[in-house]
């Protein structure tokens, strides 16, 4: 018979999000997808001060996405703690926690329009200079130019 695992549940008396700028800390975090599976993360200690940008690099299946999904409690750590501004995420109100955490998918998506339209999607009135600047910031300008000149 297949085991059924409980969904993430809110604490009996959840706390509001703490005042702070988003200092994230992992303390001895371990995670496995089930009690009879090997951990995909083990003993992770990570300290990310508010405003700091980090890169998680590793091969497919190494746990990068899983690690980030522990912050808004899409998954629950098997051991250890995930803290935001000193508060354990398990003690926070789920709606506030998930509203406070932004996530960007690792799966790129392009619309069936021009490259320019894809870059300007979130800002339809963007000028050509703004689109070029965005491509430069995304480190895509060289690729776009080499592809456009391939004909």
Give pTM, 2 decimals.
0.68
The ranges of the chain annotated as CATH 3.40.50.300 are 24-100
Instruction: Encode pLDDT of 87-129 as tens digits.
Output: 999 999 999 999 998 776 666 667 788 888 888 888 889 999 9
Where residue 12 falls among pLDDT bands split at 50, 70, 90? very high
Q: Which one is the CATH code of 24-100: 1.10.730.10, 3.40.50.300, 1.10.10.10, 1.10.150.170?
A: 3.40.50.300
Q: Which residues contact 21 (CB under 8 A, 6 or more apart)?
A: 50, 51, 85
């Amino acid at each position: 018979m297949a085991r059924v695992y409980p969904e993430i549940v809110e604490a009996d008396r959840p706390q509001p999000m703490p005042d702070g700028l988003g200092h994230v800390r992992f303390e001895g975090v371990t995670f496995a997808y089930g009690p009879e599976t090997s951990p995909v993360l083990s003993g992770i200690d990570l300290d990310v001060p508010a405003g700091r940008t980090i890169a998680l690099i590793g091969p497919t299946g190494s746990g990068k996405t899983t690690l980030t999904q522990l912050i808004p409690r899409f998954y629950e750590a098997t051991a250890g703690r995930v803290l935001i501004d000193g508060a354990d995420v398990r003690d926070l109100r789920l709606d506030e926690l998930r509203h406070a955490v932004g996530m960007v998918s690792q799966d790129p998506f392009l619309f069936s329009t021009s490259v320019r339209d894809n870059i300007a999607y979130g800002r339809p009135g963007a000028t050509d200079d703004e689109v070029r600047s965005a491509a430069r910031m995304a480190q895509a300008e060289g690729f776009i130019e080499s592809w456009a000149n391939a004909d």
